[in-house]
Copies of this chain bind each other. A is one copy, B any other.
Amino acid sequence: MIENPPTPGSALWVYAHPRRGSFNDLLFQAGTEALSATRDVATSDLYAQGFDPVLSTRDLGDLADTPGNIAEQVGEAFSAGRLPDDVRAEQAKLAAAELLVIQFPLWWYGPPAILKGWLDRVLTAGFAYGDMDPELGVPRRYGDGGLTGRKALVVVTAGEDERTIGPRGISGDIDALLFPLTHGTLWYTGIETLDLHVVTDADTLDASAVDRETERLRSRIAGLSTENVHPYRRLRDGDYQGTRALRDDLAPGRTDLGIHRVQPG
């Protein structure tokens, strides 16, 4: 069984914005400072690190030229201790963290490529998922992966206003837009995401709005440990027909992504 026991009181803040002195940078500085009051905070400032987001056969070590499934081969490279140094360093930080913060500007309604590639390269089989569930006979996933027991806070800045990325907003609800991250990625590996921390109208904030938002993030972080999570359903709790589709009697008739919450909104 995959074991990645976190270090009590530790956190990792993953940050993806290209510019020093930007509004995102202010949030990053304020947020990591606030979090440091109660936790040991490691950071992955992806642009500052020059992180390479492209998962390629270079990550496969001596399997680079062997035909096969890339995701499985990355898992083998992990098990053999042959992943590249930059990936291993990120895995070590993530394995140690009880709390993960992921901060980014919304680009084309998703994470910037440098962050998407951090997920692609770091969350390998063998590390973040891949164990078989002995009862279900399928890989442990959705609430039960290699990073189980951790919590995540997603901090996202959007140029649009609240209605535009709200439940019937033209751009789609932000919870649905980020479902591939919060559910398909984090929850898949066992990480529970707290309610999103969204800053809307982020391109047009004046100085006082910047102060207000910086303070709102500080105060959110100060209260994190007492926040409730609105969890997604665990695969192994029996809410799905076998391993695939939600049972007909749960959130009947609905097909929105909210059905995957234990308490659909």
A contacts, CB < 8 Å to B: 18-19, 21-22, 47, 53-57, 67, 69-72, 105, 107-114, 116-117, 119-120, 123, 142, 159, 161, 163-164, 166-173, 176-177, 179-181, 183-185, 188, 203, 233, 235, 240, 243-246, 254-260
Contacts and interface: CB of A to CB of B under 8 A. Distances in A.
Contacts of A172: 179-180, 183-184, 257, 260
Contact of A169 (B159, B233, B244): B244
Contact of A180 (B18, B110, B117, B161): B110
A185 B108 CA distance: 6
A57 B246 contact: no
A120 B109 contact: no
B177 A109 contact: no
Which of A53, A123, A183, A240 is most buried by chain B, counting CB atoms within 10 A of its CB? A53
Contacts of A240: 170
Given A22-B70, A54-B113, A108-B185, 11 more contacts: A19-B57, A53-B114, A54-B112, A112-B116, A163-B245, A170-B233, A170-B240, A172-B184, A176-B176, A176-B256, A257-B257
25 contacts: A18-B56, A19-B70, A53-B53, A54-B112, A54-B113, A54-B114, A55-B113, A108-B180, A108-B184, A110-B110, A113-B116, A114-B117, A142-B170, A164-B244, A164-B245, A166-B245, A168-B255, A168-B259, A170-B233, A170-B235, A170-B240, A170-B260, A173-B257, A176-B176, A257-B257
A185 B176 CA distance: 15
